[in-house]
Amino acid sequence: MSSSYSNYTNSPCAACKFLRRKCTSDCVFAPYFPPEEPLKFANVHRIFGASNVSKILHEVAPHQREDAVNSLAYEAEARLKDPVYGCVGAISVLQREVLRLQRELEETNVDLMRYDSFLGGETSAYGGRRG
Amino acid sequence: MSSSYSNYTNSPCAACKFLRRKCTSDCVFAPYFPPEEPLKFANVHRIFGASNVSKILHEVAPHQREDAVNSLAYEAEARLKDPVYGCVGAISVLQREVLRLQRELEETNVDLMRYDSFLGGETSAYGGRRG
């Protein structure tokens, strides 16, 4: 649970402040949207809508809510930066990087096997790696 | 543009059918939510809300809208499958895979360099690769 949760009695959470409503002790947003991070809520609200975020929070177990909010905030920020691809753009980049590294590793293993056959297997401790 | 777009005169698009509204010739959803794929719209509506999807579509250039809808549909499906991490879970898995492959490649290059020094550089064509 965020250390900022204890602040809800002093100041409404970022969500309630944004939505101009009273922040009660059972506010589902308060533990994850502290007043000092107004942009975090503004972003998820803009992309998912407060009602959908609230639904997701109620769907997941309390101990998973912080992770859920952080992943929603990450997705929202990515979508605001790149309205066309959002964080799916990052997935494409990473998938290409995995393929590039797999090819590179494959080629390096071929080189190792060439060395091995060049040495007639006398240094078999240096056998090719397979990912 | 999706081939299904031409169908809008016969049947409302999946979005208009879901939202029970008239599907007009200038419907922003129609080209990307054909009536035969009702789940695609239901998913993005459930996660982002029709109004936010419409806002995003109006924000991006017409030639990028299909990519935008497909990435939103991918994100929505991932969030419905995994309400805690959504497609950020896939990003974490891919980031770990990139790190694992980088380490593996690093180790394989160390092996190649050992071979190289064992052979006294006489087969320099087999020099270590660097990613």
Tell me which residue range forms the domain holding B71: 7-80
Nearest-Cα distance to chain B for A7, in Å, is 25
Packed helices B50-59 and B38-48: angle between N→C axes, nearest 10 degrees: 100
**C-alpha distance across the termini of chain B, in Å:** 39
Interface contact B105-A105, CB threshold 8 A:
yes
Average pLDDT over residues A30-52: 96
Q: Are residues B13 and B73 in the same domain?
A: yes
B113 vs B99: CA distance, rounded Å = 21
Shortest CA distance to B88 belongs to which of A117, A88, A102, A9?
A: A88
pLDDT in tens, B38-64: 999 999 999 999 999 999 999 999 999
Residue B43 CA from chain centroid, whole number: 15
Residue B63 inside a domain? The answer is: yes
Number of domains in chain B: 2
Shortest CA distance to A109 belongs to which of B114, B104, B57?
A: B104
Closest residue, chain A, to B70 (C-alpha): A85
- Note whether A45 contacts B: Cβ–Cβ < 8 A: no
Q: Is A26 exposed, middle or buried (0-12, 13-18, 19+ CB in 10 A)?
A: exposed
A113 vs B3: CA distance, rounded Å = 50
Nearest-Cα distance to chain A for B34, in Å, is 20
Quote the pLDDT of residue A130. Answer: 45
pLDDT in tens, B78-128: 999 999 999 999 999 999 999 999 999 999 999 888 888 877 755 544 444
Residue A1 inside a domain? The answer is: no
Counting runs of H as helices and runs of E as strands, what totals does chain B give?
Answer: 5, 0
Q: Are residues B66 and B114 in the same domain?
A: no
A101 → closest Cβ in B48, B90, B101: B101
Quote the pLDDT of residue A118. Answer: 76
- Note whether B101 contacts A: Cβ–Cβ < 8 A: yes
**DSSP string covering B70-84:** HHHHHHHHHHHH-TT
- Note whether A110 contacts B: Cβ–Cβ < 8 A: no
Residue A2 inside a domain? The answer is: no
Residue B2 inside a domain? The answer is: no
Q: Which percentage of chain A shows pLDDT scores above 90?
A: 76
Band of pLDDT at residue A6, cut at 50, 70 and 90: very low
Residue A112 · residue B116 · CB < 8 Å: no
Packed helices B38-48 and A50-59: angle between N→C axes, nearest 10 degrees: 90
Q: Are residues B67 and B87 in the same domain?
A: no
Interface contact A67-B75, CB threshold 8 A:
no
Q: Are residues A70 and A13 in the same domain?
A: yes
- Note whether B85 contacts A: Cβ–Cβ < 8 A: yes
**φ, ψ for residue A123, nearest 5 deg:** -120, 55
Q: Are residues A57 and A113 in the same domain?
A: no
Q: Which positions in chain A touch B123 (Cβ < 8 Å)?
A: 115, 118
Q: Are residues B96 and B120 in the same domain?
A: yes
Average pLDDT over residues A74-82: 97
**DSSP string covering chain A:** --GGGGGGGTS--HHHHHHT----TT-SSTTTS-TT-HHHHHHHHHHT-HHHHHHHHHHS-GGGHHHHHHHHHHHHHHHHH-TTTTTHHHHHHHHHHHHHHHHHHHHHHHHHHHHHHHTTTTTGGGPPP--
- Note whether A94 contacts B: Cβ–Cβ < 8 A: yes
Residue A43 · residue A67 · CB < 8 Å: no
Interface contact A71-B88, CB threshold 8 A:
yes
Q: Are residues A64 and A100 in the same domain?
A: no
A115 vs B115: CA distance, rounded Å = 7
Q: Are residues A16 and A76 in the same domain?
A: yes
Band of pLDDT at residue A29, cut at 50, 70 and 90: very high
Q: Are residues A53 and A111 in the same domain?
A: no
> Which has the higher per-residue pLDDT, A70 or A10?
A70
Q: Are residues B48 and B67 in the same domain?
A: yes
Q: Are residues A12 and A74 in the same domain?
A: yes
Q: Are residues A100 and A124 in the same domain?
A: yes
